[in-house]
Every structure is written in structure tokens, then in C-alpha cells.
Amino acid sequence: MFSIIILFSLINHSFSKEEEIFGKAHVIDGDTIKIKSKKIRLFGIDAPEKKQTCKKSFASINFFSFQKNYNCGVLSTTYLKKKIGNNYIKCISKTKDKYKRYLGVCYLGNLDLNKWMVENGYAVAYKKYSRKYELQEQYAKENKLGIWKGTFVEPEKWRRIMN
């Protein structure tokens, strides 16, 4: 019986192997970075694509609101770059996606960068894969932060439309 428990725990451990990736990050876009040769997709979030535009209000008169397009994908990327700066970050990954990217939660010190992107409105919670950042999305939406200041197409839907 004891050997069965040990065998089960060894098998279970091999399936949930956690990998820590540490170093200076090169930001690819609002939800993907590269540390050394490892590409990391920020788990549980979905940021606007680099070529994606969103709309935000620039003037309101009575019941009319005038909106203009802005490049929300570039903005999302820029804010992640600014937040990380030239600092070392740590990403914890348990698995890879279909593109062989590590899926990870990344930290600047104790700050969860995935969470920060969503709660500031630079990304949405990727509820298709995780509900981890739903409260942060709700906060950004209620406070009209980032992309929630105007209107936008969900990044996943935008990718489908553009392909």
C-alpha cells in the first residue's frame, strides 16, 4: 500500500511540474514576454493585439458621445513595458500552450503582473481558460480604466475576425 502511495505521488508530481523562469523580460505584446529564449504567455489574461484599435470618448454633448479610435494593442504593450522597465521578473509556469509558449503568472517583486494588467484595464480576464482575474476585470470595468474607458472588441473575437 505504501509503495502505491509513493508511486501515485511521483506520477502526480511529474504532471504538475512547476517551472520558475527568472530574468530580464523582452515584452512582445500585452500578454506575451520572452525571458532568455523562453516565450511566456501571461496566464489567465488576454490583451488587445498590437494591430487592434479600440474607441474612447473625447467629447460629450447632451446625449451624444463622440469617440475616436486609438491603438489599444500598442498601448497595452507599452504599459507592460513601462511597468517592467529594466527589472528582473519571475514567472511561474506549470504548462505550455499549443504554440509551445510557457503559460505563466509573472511577478515584479511581489506584484502579480497578470493581475496588474487586468485591474488597470490593459487586458481582460481570459475566462475561457481561467476565472482567476475576474474580480480585477470587474474593478477595471466599473472604474472605466484602460480599454474600459470606451468600447472594444474582446481580443479573442478580434483575432477571429481578422484571420
Cβ atoms within 10 Å, residue 136: 24
d(CA 96, CA 21): 13
What is the model's pLDDT at position 14? Answer: 43
User: What digits encode the pLDDT tens for the residues 119-160?
Assistant: 999 999 999 999 999 999 999 999 999 999 999 999 999 999
Residues 56, 150 contacting (CB under 8 angstroms): yes
d(CA 100, CA 123): 22
Pairing of strands 54-61, 19-29: unpaired
Q: What percent of the chain has pLDDT over 70?
A: 87
pTM over 0.75: yes
Is the pLDDT at 10 greater than 80, yes or no?
Answer: no
Architecture of domain 18-162: Beta Barrel (2.40)
Q: What is the mean pLDDT of residues 20-35?
A: 98
Is the pLDDT at 79 greater than 60, yes or no?
Answer: yes
d(CA 57, CA 139): 20
What is the model's pLDDT at position 61? Answer: 74
Query: Residues with Cβ < 8 Å from 108, sequence gap 6 or more?
Result: 83, 84, 87, 89
Cell 472588441, residue located:
153
User: Letter for the amino acid at 68?
Assistant: K
Residue 64, all three cell numbers: 451624444
